[in-house]
Structure 1
């Protein structure tokens, strides 16, 4: 097969190699950038990358288990290098095609501007560890930056409406959430202070100061209750019971606010979709 036949789909009307290169760049850009993909959901390339991200993260988790990794470390190392090479190629392709993105095309140096964005730095940090260290804690932590890449790929795909609805829900009730946060902070301070007053003498190692008592207040108000710190005096137990009941009510407040706001956002989205379909010819 002639080389011209392979590049034929990418040739413009003028036919020079530069035009073909631009067409190829646009094609790669549509595959890598979710907003440019004309179909529903993610492109085949992004779907493959998303699956590879999940597999790589699972492998990074399994690598920390001695029973699994014993005698197989070379497999994990080779796999990590292979994944890093794939993502390095993908990173280079994104840098190459970013000039097709209207968001960056207006800059004098669009590629450099893209490379200093947070998401591009995350992409780079997910690649670098494989070429410097294997199995160390720092390397493992950096590999998990790939999970953030997963959010990037899915953000404007099938789940984009859900992400936007969540953002709108949080923004619309921001004042209510701020009020609830203020109430929680006051409740923590009051609870810690009262418990310090009741338990300081009986348990100076755990309630000898308000900062120490704040740990108990936070764990109790959030209804976690680790059990490492608890009151032993009668007054302390009474205060603990009141604080525990208060925590149940405080937890319900932001949950109800978010649920109501999210439901309203979904209903508005459905109404807009129905209006759009009704007005379509």
Structure 2
């Protein structure tokens, strides 16, 4: 009975009423609050005012998420796919179970990096991955996954075209600009930074061609970048529209 009740409360698919179950609403609120605390804690002036409070709140969040994680593992047995020891092991390697585990791990990994400021910053940032857990409760995320799966070949083609264009534009700028700007265009790998900034239409301006031929190729690259950005955008827009339409029909 307890396992069935937990499964009904924790699994969005098992909740037959409109919206989320009360337990999942609390979980969503905790995820948002924990992420907000993780963001605020990165500000040194605020962290120095009350370092113990942030540490205590993180301990509370980790304890609550750990209890929730164990409850989900236990309740997974209500699903025929995850019954028994073998089923539980299969559940532990599912995408959402791994994301739940990642929400807890940075706290414990932080003990291994007490004297390493860089690793501590990395583990603080990893706590923001808890926000990805909200995808379990949203149909939009499942629609996005369905859209990506349905158009994976078209998206891979657009990525391949973008990669070829990046390489070609880098090679052209290397050929015409290397003699005048060896620091910025002295090799194809160095020129890739300029190509990425130009093709994505960001255009930082920290590296720019100065020769007439270089400016000509830069113009072609900039114009081509518009199409490169539009191609996967159009593919994803059409796929998402189809996925949401299918959800509504179902």
TM over 0.5: yes
The structure-2 alpha-carbon separation of the partners of 1:123 and 1:240, relative to structure 1 and needing over 3 Å to count, comes to: same
Match 1:137 to one of 80, 100, 121: 121
Structure of higher CA gyration radius: 1
RMSD of equivalent CA atoms: 2.2
Deviates more, 1:249-258 or 1:76-85: 249-258
| Secondary structure in structure 1 of the residue aligned to 2:18 | coil
What SS does the aligned partner of 2:67 have? helix
Q: Deviation at 1:127?
A: 2.2
Q: 1:176 to 1:85 in 2, by over 3 A?
A: closer
CA separation of 1:25 and 1:260: change in aligned 2, threshold 3 A = closer
Q: Shift of the alpha carbon at 1:47? A: 1.0
Deviation at 1:52, TM superposition (A): 0.6
Q: Aligned with 1:180: secondary structure?
A: helix
Q: Secondary structure at the match of 2:103?
A: helix
Relative contact order, higher structure (CA 8 A, sep 6+): 2
Question: CA offsets per residue over residues 131-186 of structure 1, 9 Å max, x none?
Answer: 5548922431332231222222x1xxxx32x3343334333333332332222122
CA deviation after TM superposition for structure 1 residue 90, in Å = 1.1
Name the structure 2 match of 1:263.
241
Cα deviation, residue 260, structure 1 = 2.7
- Separation in structure 2 between the aligned mates of residue 77 and residue 34 of structure 1, nearest angstrom: 31
Contact 2:10 2:21 in 1 (8 A): yes
- Show the counterpart of 1:125: 102
Say if 1:170 and 1:258, in contact at 8 Å, map to a contact too: yes
Q: After the TM superposition, which parts of structure 1 deviate over 4 Å for at least 4 consecutive aligned residues?
A: none
Moved more, 142-151 or 199-208: 142-151
| 1:114 corresponding residue in structure 2 | 91
Long gaps (5+) in structure 1:
1-22, 274-281
**Equivalent position of 2:13 in the other structure:** 35
Alignment of 1:17-28 (within 5 A): 23-28=1-6
Normalised TM-score (structure 2)? 0.87
| Residue 246 of structure 1: how far off its partner (Å) | 1.1
1:60-139 aligned within 5 A: 60-105=38-83, 107-131=84-108, 133=111, 136-139=120-123
- Give the CA deviation at 1:116: 4.0
Aligned partner of 1:223 in structure 2 is 201
